Structure 1
Amino acid sequence: MDLIHPWVVDLSRFQFALTALYHFMFVPLTLGLTFILAAMETVYVVTGKQLYKDMTQFWGKLFGINFALGVATGLTMEFEFGTNWSMYSRFFGDIFGTPLAIEGLMAFFMESTFVGLMFFGWDRLSRPAHLAVTYLVALGSNLSALWILVANASMNMPMGTTFDPETMRMTFDSFVKVVFNPDAQAKFVHTSLAGYVTASMFVMGISAFYLLRRKHRMFAAHSFRIAALFGILSTIAVITLGDVLGRLDYEHQPTKVAAMEGLWHTSKPPAEPWILFAIPDDKNQKNYFEIGVPYVLTPLLTHTFDTPIKGLYEIQDSAGPRIESGLKAVAALKRYSEQRQMEDLAVFKQHEKDLGYGFLASRYAPEQNVDKITSDHMPQIIEKTKLDLFPNVFVTFWSFRFMVFLGVYFFVIFAMASYLSLRNQLEHYPWFLKACTWSIPLPFVAAEFGWITAEIGRQPWTVFDILPTFMSASSHTASYMVFSLIGFVTLYSIFIIAELYLMFKYARLGPQPHHPSDDNKIENISIISSKNN
């Protein structure tokens, strides 16, 4: 097997990570704003109040800017699978490509079609018909997320697939199992709800900006209240679904969970602490400056008080038999592909479940040829492979911590926002309105950290326990990767600048048309509320 140069693999990973992170800055806002728009327009249709139509149209304008740039950044990512990850595409393309194709046909085209009707159909459609279009846009955007996360779940928790030694590819065993993969369902709900949190903070923060400057006050107060209530419910649901995802990872991806928790050695229940702060040292496999809360980690992950959680060292130490078995599977597969002898196929079938570990270890074989491995080579190969079995613990640990800490912050700020908004006391607390405005970027940051946790935590696998990342990349030159990386960073940076410019421009302009008399109404409401208190 000819190895791809490590620099090419690293640059391919870095390029895809950057393009995915750029693209994911647009996705959560699209997912969440569509349902907030649907909620606002529902109130307009039921009550007939012009204010709610103004709200739907204004926030819809900002949604349109975000949607257009999200589409532009997302399309290029699909081409990267073919250009930079050709081995992965060949090996796993049937499984990964099918949900993406369905996403394009079922969700993206539907969403794109109805977006046009949503923007230009106000005077051409009846109120109920336009409301139905808005809900279809919301449904389309969330269905799009569903199919993408079905594809992603197949990489993190492969189900409904089997390896075909004749074609050397993964093929469908059960499409139903792929679609109803528990990881896909939990991740879809968690990601969609994170989008609702992002959109809620976006609407709430801009509304707080207007209230601070005493502009568009009735518009801002109503927008703030809807966003606050939407946000507190979504945050509670995100935290709940996060627990479900953590439980699934504990059962199916123990290395990811151990890295997320900085757990180098198997826990000792029930007193094992949940670590709040530490500096993990990947090289020496230990933590420095550890601060934790005892009696939390075991029930948090296992939902029991007496189940130990396997640490990275023990996972690494127990992997030797799987590595040796996997090498036998790779060697038998290689011989079968060359000679088509049924004895070799029988040996492969015997060790097939450990094939991924054989792939992972094969780069340490003499001249990268598994047929040249002798009993003298095996211990050394096993020890080298063990070092590759878990992800970067420092990055996984801290990206998870930042996501969790921000989630707690969102719960607090949305709870306060809901309370103050329902009591019409927002303008009495300018410091809180400033905090809401400055918090607009934080859900985007939390979403990015969540993505980093999920994807870095899966390493060293592109397809967990089956296909190592170093085998997945295309055989480009390092210079080509540097050139394309610079091109992508430049292009996507332009997109981000355009997004920020347009968002700031139209957010500062505010809702149009504006009804000046509304500014006096909220002042009267605030005065009455103050007297009552």
Structure 2
Amino acid sequence: MIIDPDVVSLSRMQFALTALYHFLFVPLTLGLVWMLAIMESVYVMTGREVWKRMTQFWGILFGINFAMGVATGVTMEFQFGMNWAYYAHYVGDVFGTPLAIEGLMAFFLEATLVGLFFVGWNRVSRVTHLLVTWFLALATSLSALWILIANGWMQNPVGSAFNPETMRMEVTSFSEVFFNPVAQAKFVHTVSAGYVLGSMFVLSISAWYLLRGRNVDFAKRSMTVAASFGLAASLSVVVLGDVSGYAVSQNQKMKMAAIEAMWETEPPPASFTLFGIPDIENRTTHYALRIPWVMGLIGTHSIDEPIPGIHDLVDDAKSRIDQGILAYDAMLTLRADRNNRQAKAILAAHDKDLGYALLLKRHIDDPRKATPQDIQKAADSTIPNVPVLFWSFRIMVACGFYFIALFAFSFWKASKRQLDKDRWYLRLALCSLPLPWLAIELGWIVAEYGRQPWSIEGVLPTALGVSSVTTGQVWTSLGGFVLFYTVLAVIDVVLMVRFARKGPDGLGLWPPGQPSTAPAATIIPVQT
């Protein structure tokens, strides 16, 4: 049975929309919680009231964001059963374990610590509450670790093997899954991006207060923390992004070639295309402005290792499809006769290419009957959308270097105690608020859209992972999610803007001693 392309496209659209929306909240949670830990640490060490009030105020915004992240994350996990049932069946033994651990971390450990953070101000000692905040920061990172281990396995499926008896992928080494180099690189890069977002969030809102002459001491201290933490985080993003890029060049060569719009394999070390206009139809890049050696050094960390071009990788895919057809035939033989030794030997020799034969399923019901034209179509389908990846990557990188410059300048102004002197700088800091979200969403597009046509790289094509549903059913669920998420978006924006506009002065947090209008569970008299 040939797969319905409309069901595949709609299911992909639904998951992409929910993932992109969910990813608006996760990085801010990752970054903002560490800002809280830093601020409260200063409060415990110095006993100065302003640092406690800072922790409580930014904690309110953190709590709103955390709640939205949980609400949007739940729906994503349900989609594996609703829209991606065969995917869940085929790789559930591997993918399900880190996903389940992440769920436990998010819904039990994180939620418990968030509750303790808000209600514990006058119920436990200063040091105990500080430990709660630090454990909360660690728990959010651990939660991200497990989901990125699952995602990293999708990018580089190590520690697993196909079992012809169960017709599923199964774990062969959990340690390989856990220490997957792609997963580890994605983790450190992703959490660092979250730290940048958290820092920019505090920096921009604090700049807004200074522009209006409100909460000046409060805002200047917040900006100082944000500038220091943000500078370290933005530098880390660039360094760790290089590590992540190297992992891509080693394990996802087609993605790397598409990011660079590199149609032909260049002599090593390859050049970096600073600007160009990729042309998919003619498979070339017009007006390319290249910097010699840079891509080779970044992508391979060497001067003698080439980065394969798209044309060579398509030829390699055709060869792997041919080998995969042998594995597919052996798999069907084993289903009829589990003791067939010859079929076992053939499958063992070519099982790494089985996924490439499955690419033919989108064009023909039985891959063994594929024509050269079918094989060419399947091989061409391994090319992702080159212009989208090319420009997404370059805009993301440009944002990264901008963040370094802005945080470095902010750090310098903080060291000179001149954060409130230049209104143009404060306006620039305020207007920069959306940019980390833009960079993070573009990073997600590069990572996930760039993996197509695979849901599991080289193992399971995305088209095969969908559930047996109709286009009408997917349209219904897609419409429901759009409506639900739109409502959540309105609620989130209203709450964030409302509490940010009120500010610490409007909530009774600053200056100390004025009547409080903030939530009672959050604003507690300081301990002595």
CA distance in 1, matches of 2:445, 2:490: 23
TM norm structure 2: 0.94
CA distance in 1, matches of 2:28, 2:318: 45
Q: What does residue 337 of structure 1 align with? A: 335
- Cα drift, residue 279 of structure 1: 1.9
Q: What does residue 366 of structure 2 align with? A: 369
Contact 2:3–2:361 at 8 Å: present in 1 too? no
Q: What does residue 166 of structure 1 align with? A: 165
Matched, 1:302 2:282: no
Q: Deviations over 1:199-222 (max 9, x none)?
A: 000000000001111100000000
Structure 2 residue identity aligned to 1:434? R
Aligned match for 2:413, one of 394, 400, 420: 420
* CA shift in 2, pair 1:514/1:320, >3 Å: closer
Residues 134-145 of structure 1: pairs in structure 2 closer than 5 A: 134-145=133-144
Q: What does residue 197 of structure 2 align with? A: 198
Q: Deviations over 1:479-528 (max 9, x none)?
A: 1111211111111111111111111110111113344599xxxxxxxxxx
CA distance in 2, matches of 1:426, 1:190: 29
Percent identity between the two aligned chains? 50
Residues 51-130 of structure 1: pairs in structure 2 closer than 5 A: 51-130=50-129
Aligned match for 1:455, one of 435, 448, 452: 448
CA distance in 2, matches of 1:514, 1:148: 36
Contact 1:324–1:378 at 8 Å: present in 2 too? no
Q: Deviations over 1:127-171 (max 9, x none)?
A: 001001111111111111000000001100111101100000000
3-state SS of 1:159 partner: coil
CA distance in 1, matches of 2:189, 2:199: 15
After superposing on structure 2, the runs of 4+ consecutive aligned residues of structure 1 that deviate more than 3 Å are: 362-365, 514-518
CA distance in 2, matches of 1:210, 1:459: 44
Q: What does residue 289 of structure 1 align with? A: 287
Aligned match for 1:513, one of 508, 511, 522: 508
Q: What does residue 19 of structure 2 align with? A: 20
Q: What does residue 256 of structure 1 align with? A: 255
3-state SS of 1:287 partner: strand
Q: What does residue 323 of structure 2 align with? A: 325
CA distance in 1, matches of 2:476, 2:296: 47
- Cα drift, residue 459 of structure 1: 0.9
- Cα drift, residue 299 of structure 1: 1.5
CA distance in 1, matches of 2:493, 2:323: 53
Indicate the larger mover: 229-238 or 304-313: 304-313
CA distance in 1, matches of 2:290, 2:183: 31
Contact 2:3–2:362 at 8 Å: present in 1 too? no
3-state SS of 2:242 partner: helix
CA distance in 1, matches of 2:503, 2:344: 68
Q: Deviations over 1:399-455 (max 9, x none)?
A: 111111110110110011110111011222111110111111110111111011000
- Cα drift, residue 378 of structure 1: 4.0
CA distance in 1, matches of 2:481, 2:105: 28
CA distance in 1, matches of 2:372, 2:226: 59
Aligned match for 1:402, one of 374, 380, 395: 395
CA distance in 2, matches of 1:175, 1:412: 41
Unaligned runs of 5+ in 2: 514-528
Q: Deviations over 1:112-141 (max 9, x none)?
A: 001111001101110001001111111111
* CA shift in 2, pair 1:396/1:442, >3 Å: same
CA distance in 1, matches of 2:316, 2:190: 34
Q: What does residue 360 of structure 1 align with? A: 359
Matched, 1:443 2:436: yes
Contact 2:279–2:285 at 8 Å: present in 1 too? yes
Contact 2:327–2:346 at 8 Å: present in 1 too? yes
CA distance in 2, matches of 1:21, 1:106: 21
RMSD over aligned Cα atoms? 1.5
Q: What does residue 39 of structure 2 align with? A: 40
3-state SS of 2:451 partner: coil
Q: Deviations over 1:364-411 (max 9, x none)?
A: 44xx1235x2xxx54223222221122111111111111111101101
TM norm structure 1: 0.93
CA distance in 2, matches of 1:299, 1:344: 43
Matched, 1:494 2:487: yes
Contact 2:362–2:463 at 8 Å: present in 1 too? no
Q: What does residue 480 of structure 1 align with? A: 473
Aligned match for 2:278, one of 263, 272, 280: 280
Q: Deviations over 1:54-111 (max 9, x none)?
A: 0000000000000001100000100001110011000001111100111122454111
Indicate the larger mover: 310-319 or 344-353: 344-353
Structure 2 residue identity aligned to 1:53? K
Q: What does residue 177 of structure 2 align with? A: 178
Q: What does residue 404 of structure 2 align with? A: 411
- Cα drift, residue 456 of structure 1: 0.9
CA distance in 1, matches of 2:200, 2:8: 37
